[in-house]
Structure 1
Amino acid sequence: MPLFLSLVYLLFRRALTVAALRVRSREFKELEIVVLRHELVVLRRQVARARLTEPDRVFLAAASRLLRGTGWQSLLVRPDTLLGWHRQLVRRRWTYAGRRPGRPRVSEQLGELVLRLAHENPRWGYQRIVGELAGVGVRVSATTVAKILRQADVPPAGARAGLCWREFLRAQAQSMIACDFFTVETLWLGRLYVLFFIELGSRRVHLAGCTANPSGAWTAQQARQLAWSLSERLTPIRFLVHDRDSKFSRVFDEVFRSDGVEIIRTPFRAPQANAFAERWVGTVRRDCLDWILIVSRRQLEQVLRVYVDHYNSHRPHRALDLTPPTPERRLRLVSSHPPDHLHRRDLLGGLIHEYALAA
């Protein structure tokens, strides 16, 4: 609308100018034409390119059809400029508003979904990701998937499929178990040895026993008792990790080898090679043994059995999303509001507390 009004105003002014020229003499008109042409020459020397509005272009295009011969010299534009304006009008006519050339842009949700599948499955290539998305009703081409991964600096499947030690241990953790000894000093300055096993996948701890003289025969007997209980597992144990302590004798290893378990000995003076067992030793000391005076082996066994039961069934574990290794079925809150009644259970004389919803 503003363009139309501007064009009407410009035409009205030109009509008034033509009417005023009719009352002037011919000599005056010719003199004025000469002056205007000279001003046009001066203007062309000072301005390299004049800025024309849409009404100016419409007027000059219409006037060009009326001028003949030397009249073209009076125009600010050349014939190829008029042809260029015409080509622009043709392009505008056949240009659809609101539509960009090329393929439609990929949505952010689809990009995030492709990156999620690529990160969670490093061995999947472009075609596998396309097929997996097609299975859930998302249609996308392999070229689009490759472009999304390339823009996010995600390498191809061959470079992403490298297996690190962390991923290897997580994949094998369900079939691995570790064992170790730790010592406890009694009130009478005696030393007791504690043998335990820990499942690397579930972090479940098995207390084998306590003794003041851990001989090879005693260690082998504890291994037999544990092997009998592990035979009921759905996932069989394939690897046993322990250090090179002489208390782990050949008989101890043969008990597990007879069940198809491979023995892995850690290097010398490398406690981090058996990090899960070493970490549990620190946990049981900080939570329990550092706060109790142990008098006898029987008391130590009773304390450790209570703590191991608490550790396996109640104590939250960060590696298990703050759930215990073998959680018991308990009443859980549905809402985010704190409960009105909590029941507290004291263990080891109040050293450890367990909380549950009151019935």
Structure 2
Amino acid sequence: MRKSRFTETQIISILKEADVGVPVKELWRKHGISSATYYKWKAKYGGLDVSQLKRTKELEEENSRLKRMYADLSLVHTALKDAVEKKPVTPAQRKELAEHMVKEHGTSVRAACTAVNLDRGHWYYRARPRDDAALIEALNGVIERKPRWGFWLSFKSLRREGHGWNHKRVYRVYKALGLNIRRRAKKRLPARVKQPLSVPERPNQGWSADFMSDTLYSGRRFRLFTLMDDFNREGLALEADTSLPAERIIRVLDEVVAWRGAPARIRVDNGPEFLAAAFVAWAERNGVEIVYIQPGKPTQNAFIERFNGTVRHELLDLYVFYTVDEVREMGHWWLEGYNTERPHDSLNDQTPEEYLLTRFPTPTSTLELS
């Protein structure tokens, strides 16, 4: 569009001359304009002065600016609505969302980055590929020679070989290759006081409990919960299953307590089932003292360990089990024979049942009540 050779201020000045009485035809000749141009100016600028014209121009510019702002916000709003189901969290995700807004909706890079709270430096950043082939080869060589070495020993070995890679780069590759050696966290236990292992003088004065494990013919592992009365070495329970959580152990103990009565104390190791809050609550509810042995000292629970050895030798090593039900059934009959037929050197060659009836004629064993 051709630009006029008169400014708006000059046009208003020409129109003011006509207002003070100068003939229009003289104005046309003086300024070299046509009648059509004059009347067009008069329709557009008639009755205005310079200040009013300036104010009008400011309002037009403001209106134009607001329209552009509205258009930009509307565009950003539309782009955000399109991506409302995506929740950008990481910078990479926010960059992906900003790229979607720019490509699909034509949003400017600045507006897209502002909308998703992304620094524009990250938008223009392009990662340079790293060549870690030499480091990977050297690190794998160290691990092949010393498979039990951890990161720091491997890193020091690389330094001794003359490689200058810093520990941050080596550790990044070390983790990417999955070479981390998992360390078993040391279980924090309260101090355990050594309790002397004494033979109880009466039934239910002291029980012992422990766990065993073995495998079925198919290779599937199962566990055994063993429970005995230290007084007459009587086996009170032999529970088998693939999993024996604390709740299951409590149910077995409740069944034994129902016909046997609750013990004064029970000696156990520091396994998670015996440290569980449910087991501790059961002991408090039944007035049972829990005697924990010291970690790594199975001889402090020698009665149940000796019982477990007998279970292993006479039951688990003797038969091949295909199902857990077979373990339960064979365990039931073996436990009955153990209590009624198997003599014990420590019981003067008597069975647990005979020793109990000799010392305390009142029936308290499983077999007497069955």
Q: Taking structure 2 as the reference length, what is the TM-score of the superposition?
A: 0.41
For the pair shown, the structure with the greater C-alpha radius of gyration is: 2
